[in-house]
Amino acid sequence: MESAPLGPASSVGNTIINNQNNNPNNHNNNDVVSSAVPALQTTLEQLFSTRSLKFTSEDGVPVAVIAVQRYLSDKTLSSSDADADHHHDHSHPHHHQRHPHQDSYRYDLTVTDGAWRTRCVLHRGLNHLVRRGELRVGTQLRITACSFVYSEQRLGHGYICVERVRCGGAAGGARSPVLDGLKDLDCLSVLTRDGMENVGLWNDFPLKLSSKHYLPLWNNDDPEGEQWLPQRATPDLPLDVSRIILLCDLEASLGNTWGCLPLLVRVIHKSRLRYYGKCDITDVKKKVDYPYMAYFEVADQSGTMSLVLWNELCLDWYHSLHVGAVLYLQNYSVRDSYPSRSRPQMDHHRLRIFGSKEISLNRRNAVSVLTVVPQKNLPVQRGLPDVAYKFTCRSELKSLADNTACDVIGLVTFVGRVQRIRCPYDKGPEKFWTYRWVHALDGSSHRPFILEIFSSSQPDIFHSICPMTYLVCTQMRVCRGQGSSTPFLTSSCETEIYITGCHRGQPYVCDPRVKDFIQWTKTLKDGAILEKTAMGGHYCYPPAPPVFTQPMESGSVQVALVAAGDLQREVQSLQYREHKRLAIQGFITAVRYVERPHDTEPSTGEAQVAGAASSGTSEALAERTASDHRDNGTSGGQTAPAGGATSPRSYMTRAKMRKRLARVSTTPVRPQDSSSESESESESETSAMGSTSQEGLVESNHDPAELSQLLRWESSDWSRQRQELSTHLFGDRLHQDSLTRKFSFEDRSALLRWSGLPPSHWTPDQPSETLPPVACSGYYHITILGINQQVAVDAAFCPVMSSEDPRAKGLPLDPHGNSLLSCLSTGFLCPLGDPAPPDLHINLPSPEEIFQTVGELEGTHLVCLLDLCHLGGDRVEILLNKVYQVT
């Protein structure tokens, strides 16, 4: 790729850069460069044509982000350092509210103005823009300040440090117009500065040379970059297998030894990659350029043993050492096995397990030699064992004990969005795990497998899981939650996943259970299955237990009872797509039903954190919040509830609804109040509200917001209590990322991008596609007051109203009275059975009927389970999962 250096007096193509406009002597501040430049000069040329090492501009240089790449820093830095704060763009009203934490990573950006591209280092004071999902590929960015940093000990190397920016859109979702019509990134020449010519040539190496490679953007488990070699072709060479040592002989060796004789083994299990990089390493001898390792379980006719692939060899061989491959190993070492690591369950192989020793392959000292042997070259007399599987049917799952390992195959019907949780075990740099929830049917039961699938170092497959595909997951572990008798399966370190398009040639294709599954799928009608599919939205399993105990575990999320005052810190510390479940004690002091029309897209409103005693929010935001409090008795609408199931429309006239809710305003409802209205009142209110259809349905020309104004309640003390609050966490309207959408093949690519994580590189095949509509008619906006009445939080609640809702799978369906308190305690409306025809949806209670019981909440001491998830920018999802009544 052509790299064009720009100096103080260089020309680019036919464009001559006028240095008179960029003379620093023409400015009061020598670091400030005027934005007055020739009309023919491109955007990035303006930035590079300065004679100074500093560039600032009020308007900023508009560019599009085409790559965001992450790598481990050479030292840990606190994001609250004053030096970092100096470089923040303080025009954003919430930057000062970030929760300080240790930052161990750096980011390189590649940006383009449509004619040129260049690579930059993002100042660490701006790292939060990436962590919060505001700065990502495809978005518009304005560089308002940057500096040029030369390497004083390396010729031709340096970098641009971006110090201050403005992102396009609060959530970072504004697509840059620069990318419209751009079909080939290779046509963009690399723009550099004199003395930085090498920058444009090292596309796969970090600009700061302390690190040698990039990490994946959202976790540390996946291979990332061009240095990871694809699967190698197996050489068709004869091997001398006359002198081969067996694994049983290695087990009998004393101490750590170097293998003298070759090994011939088959790979029967493969682990995900493990990254062990650390910051603040001052000893050069201890610094490892590629700190990776991966475990493989290998077997010969004598038994099985672990093989460890270290460091650079992971880059060369990880993709080639697949399950079923036969390896010829030389120059290996034998060491004592690491006792604390996880291991796959291999009882079904019926082989002897040698667990005290492990084979180590490294590029240091004696260079290990690996050869993948083609099956046709394998000597028959060697008798290597075949790969064995332990496929389990859904009907057999209930009989398996906790932590039992099994393999499963199923037809995918639901795929949740990709989320992240912090790895709780690492003492080094902060790490995240990425995971998603999946439902899959196998024909042995009407209930699906519920799978919690973590990243397995197979990013292409992991992010391509979608409904209507055949999914195979190996080495899944059985888990049971306290709130459900329905077990689910979660990944282990040795789990591998395969979807349609990846099955050919895999050892499991001949398994009898797999063949039975394929025969079952031939009896299905695609249309019938497609109607039951869904993607994305909020989903969390297993259901919370019926009785709150402290502490408790819920799947992959540790549930802790926290002080309400800590919620603000928890919200501010969330990173993009990070999920947490927390519990707080308090009272429900206000409820409002928010009706959402079916034919409109949900708002991408921002979740805010406001404090009555703190500043920093914009005046418009404060004015809107105060108006919401005056008009509605609560703060603005909160984040979207999970769902996708169609809730029943109101089958009452507005006159009857007003008759029932005449006293549901600012005082608790009493049951006897609902029986004192007369028919004449009903008729007069009907005429006041306007005409209705003959079926009694509300006509579409009425404002849906009017229903929200009627279906609201607040406790008798809320008016006084909210004046005494120190902090109120509130939100606005719905988040579309919280809503489940129906799957269709036409929308497949758009749904995969929407439910996945932003990629590290932009590609021209990423058009802005529209998403299918959601089916969610409304939700409950609930205000929770902390037990000490100093902090309040708004949360959204949407009960499950259809058995087709993915959240209904595994949910205890004990009948209840459909009061608001019982709905909050169980999470669903009763009865929740098989899907009924649309004309029978009237059997479910309407929001108006549920609101008649809202008075039960007055003064009721509750433990509230909240699901938090960061959705990008300032959008934070706060959902009320369940309440427990404290008696």
Question: Mean pLDDT, to the nearest integer, of 645-669?
Answer: 37
Give the residue among 328, 335, 337 at the shortest CA–CA distance from 368. Answer: 328
What's the average model confidence in pLDDT over 689-703? 32
508: number of CA atoms within 13 Å, CB side? Answer: 27
Rounded average pLDDT over 649-669: 37
Say which CATH superfamily domain 247-382 falls into: Nucleic acid-binding proteins (2.40.50.140)
Given this model, what pLDDT does residue 233 score? 81
Confidence of residue 123 (pLDDT cuts 50, 70, 90): very high
285's CB contacts (< 8 A; 6+ apart) are none
Q: What is the pLDDT of residues 816-866, one digit of tens each?
A: 999 999 999 999 998 876 554 544 444 788 999 999 999 999 999 999 999
Query: Which is higher by pLDDT, 538 or 557?
Result: 538
- Whole-number CA gyration radius for the chain: 30
Which letter, b or e, does each residue of 66-91 get, where b requires 16 or more Cβ atoms within 10 Å of its Cβ? Answer: bbbbbbbbbeebebeeeebeebbbee
Question: Does the structure show a pLDDT above 80 at 407?
Answer: yes
| Average pLDDT over the chain, rounded to an integer | 79
**Strands, E assignment, 550-686:** 552-554, 557-561, 579-595, 608-611
What per-residue confidence (pLDDT) applies to 443? 95
pLDDT at 540 over 70: yes
Phi and psi of 382, rounded to 5°? -70, -30
Tens of pLDDT, residues 560-619: 899 999 999 999 999 999 999 999 999 999 999 998 765 444 333 333 333 333 333 333
Q: How far apart are CA 291 and CA 310, in angstroms?
A: 8
Distance from C-alpha of 168 to C-alpha of 171, rounded to nearest angstrom: 8
* Residue entry with tokens 């479910």: 844
**What is the per-residue pLDDT across 726-735, written as a single tens digit (0 to 9) for each?**
999 986 566 8
The three state secondary structure string of 366-401 is: CCCEEEEECHHHCCHHHCCCCCCCCECCHHHHHHCC
Tokens of 780: 């409950």
CA 63/CA 112 separation, integer angstroms? 5
What is the rounded distance in angstroms from the CA atom of residue 106 to the CA atom of residue 209?
A: 12
Q: What is the mean pLDDT of residues 362-374?
A: 86
Using CA atoms in the order 615, 617, 620, 621, what is the torsion angle rounded to 10 degrees?
-110
> What string of DSSP letters covers 72-120?
EEEEEEETT-HHHHTTS-TTSTTGGGPPP-EEEEEEEEEEE-SSEEEEE
Who's near 623: CB < 8 A, 6+ residues apart?
A: none
CA distance 660 to 677: 8
CA distance 563 to 788: 9
pLDDT confidence of residue 840: 46
- At residue 494 the predicted structure's pLDDT band, cuts being 50, 70 and 90, is very high
Whether the pLDDT of residue 725 is over 80: the answer is: yes
Find the helix or strand (DSSP H, E) in which 497 lies. Answer: strand 497-498
Q: What pLDDT sits at residue 675? A: 34
Domain pair 3-201 / 247-382, same fold: yes
Does the pLDDT value for residue 666 go beyond 50? no
Q: Which of 644, 653, 625, 488 is nearest to 555 (CA)?
A: 488
Range in 321-335, 400-414, 825-839 with the lowest mean pLDDT: 825-839
> Looking at the predicted structure, is the pLDDT value of residue 705 above 90?
no
d(C-alpha 546, C-alpha 540), whole Å: 16
pLDDT, greater one: 99 or 662: 99
Query: What count of other Cβ atoms lies within 10 Å of the Cβ of residue 150?
Result: 15
Q: Say if CB 870 and CB 675 are below 8 A apart.
A: no
pLDDT score recorded for residue 81? 52
Q: What is the mean pLDDT of residues 684-691?
A: 33
C-alpha to C-alpha distance for 695 and 835, rounded to whole angstroms: 23
Residue 600: predicted pLDDT: 42
Nearest to 45 by CA among 76, 70, 1, 13: 13
Average pLDDT over residues 778-799: 94
**Residue 35 banded pLDDT, cuts 50, 70, 90:** very low
Strands (E), 246-325: 257-258, 263-270, 274-275, 292-300, 303-310
Residue 169's CB: how many other CB atoms inside 10 A?
14
Q: Which amino acid is at 849?
A: E
Backbone angles phi, psi at 454, to 5 degrees: -90, 160
DSSP state, residue 427: S
Cβ atoms of 687 and 823 within 8 Å: the answer is no
In the chain, % helix, strand, coil (3-state, to 5) comes to 20, 30, 50
> What number of other Cβ atoms are within 10 A of residue 375's Cβ?
9
Residue 487's alpha-carbon distances to 182, 451, 482, 533, 549, in angstroms, are: 49, 10, 10, 21, 20
Distance CA 54, CA 164 (A): 12
Residues 6+ apart with CB under 8 A from 608: 94, 617, 621, 730, 731, 732, 874
CATH class of 394-535: mainly beta
229 and 316 Cβ atoms separated by less than 8 Å: yes
pLDDT computed for residue 464 by the predictor: 96
How buried is 302 (Cβ within 10 angstroms: 0-12 exposed, 13-18 middle, 19+ buried)? middle
pLDDT the model gives residue 432: 94
Least reliable range by pLDDT among 86-90, 560-564, 685-689, 735-739: 685-689
* pLDDT score of 400: 94
Cα(348)–Cα(127) distance, rounded to whole angstroms? 48
pLDDT value at residue 231: 86
pLDDT at 381: 63
- Measure the CA–CA gap between 9 and 31, rounded to whole angstroms: 18
472-493 per-position pLDDT tens digit: 999 999 998 765 668 999 999 9
pLDDT given for residue 5 in this prediction: 46
Residue 259 near residue 243, CB atoms below 8 Å: no
Q: Which residue has the higher pLDDT, 236 or 330?
A: 330
Structure-token match 């396009």, residue found:
168
Confidence of residue 14 (pLDDT cuts 50, 70, 90): very low
Give me the residue spans of the domains in the chain.
3-201, 247-382, 394-535, 557-666+704-742+779-885
Q: Which tokens go with 341?
A: 């690591």
pLDDT at 103: 84
pLDDT above 70 for 254: no
pLDDT at residue 797 in the model: 94
Task: Fill in the amino acid letter for 57.
Answer: S
Q: Is the predicted pLDDT of residue 17 greater than 80, yes or no?
A: no
With beta carbons less than 8 A apart as the criterion, state whether 481 and 452 touch.
no
Give the three-class secondary structure for 693: coil
Q: Which fold has domain 3-201?
A: OB fold (Dihydrolipoamide Acetyltransferase, E2P) (2.40.50)
Question: Would you state the pLDDT for residue 186?
Answer: 85
Q: Where are the alpha helices (DSSP H) in 647-704?
A: 654-660, 679-689
Mean pLDDT in residue range 429-437 = 93
Using pLDDT thresholds of 50, 70 and 90, give the confidence band for residue 421.
very high
Instruction: Compute the distance between CA of residue 700 and CA of residue 711 in angstroms, rounded to an integer.
Output: 18
Cα three-residue angle 42-46-49, rounded to 5 degrees: 125
Cα pseudo-dihedral 170, 872, 865, 856, rounded to 10: 30
Q: 140-191: per-residue pLDDT in tens?
A: 999 999 999 998 888 888 899 999 999 874 444 567 888 888 888 888 888 8
Residue 7 confidence (pLDDT) above 60: no
Angle at 151 between CA 146 and CA 153, to 5 degrees: 165
Rounded to whole angstroms, the Cα distance separating 639 from 537 reads 12
Q: What is the pLDDT of residues 178-227, one digit of tens each?
A: 888 888 888 888 888 888 877 776 678 899 877 889 999 999 999 999 89
Specify the pLDDT at position 91: 40
Higher pLDDT, 23 or 744: 744
What lies within 8 Å, CB to CB, of 28 at 6+ separation is none
Average pLDDT over residues 623-631: 39
